Structure 1
């Protein structure tokens, strides 16, 4: 005779453990405002091929030169010599400038006979007299008998920290501060940009 043997009950496996849902951190909203883009406006583009184009020679030591070998492009450029202050200068007036907070001046130049330490300037008159914007010194910033390029940025805040723009009328002036009539700077291809918001 055979006796039935009951098998042990089947052991059920533990239920599958559910994974906790993945939580992604919520990024805080960005409250910063993009900086406004400055608008660039061309105010002057002069190569002196057709004359002064509103630049003014202020004396006997400033003129348009036809020594084309010293001009960066074309046949004509400005020649400044000596150190007779006003007489050794050229200037231009700009109106409607109270919309701009920054200027950029680009130009090319060539020097002949300048002695070490001789220099020339770019100056601005914002209604309160002539102020130095930048100067270039022989032996430090340039050497004789070669072309050089220059870029100058002028901020209205550097003149009047509490005023956001230039005055309605300004003047820019290039001035030679050399030794005598045989020390000369030739300036060509002047471009001037105004920046506003």
Structure 2
């Protein structure tokens, strides 16, 4: 896979091996299967990276989430900024959006029955770019219109999606005393900016879970 068509300078990459895990940024894509990164820092101290070390890498790009292995080919300490040269080890694989379609993440939501219901402070059970499973304190009929404000405050995101409209497609009773129902809400006329933010959050969540599973394999 041609990295020059996938990665860009400034892309954030997460790298792990058996002893280290860190986040840094791409300095330059130098070829179809090679790129450089800035020397990573962790808790204010530079992470020591050595030639021939192998890392598992994940990177969120405009095309989605990519994961691949790299080997360190050189550590350039000739200037004040240390540059680490990497070459891919095997094929890069793209995590398809259908694999990352719905994720179990709890985000803060203000929701009400549209147009004149009371506002309820609640949270999601899971979330996708097309809708959410929402904790709610009232029974709702299928087709009930909802108005919501979603606060995406995780994985480095800090987005408030206001006045999001949706339609109830499921209403599931629960035994929870505070929120006695779970609503499956499908978004309606979702603004492009809000959709992009949700897609990014879903991809970042998927990457986080995949990285966690990879880290467990090394333990």
Shorter-chain TM-score bucket reads: under 0.3
Higher fraction of helix:
2
- Structure 1 length-normalised TM: 0.25
Higher strand share: 2
Greater relative contact order structure (CA < 8 Å, 6+ sep) = 1
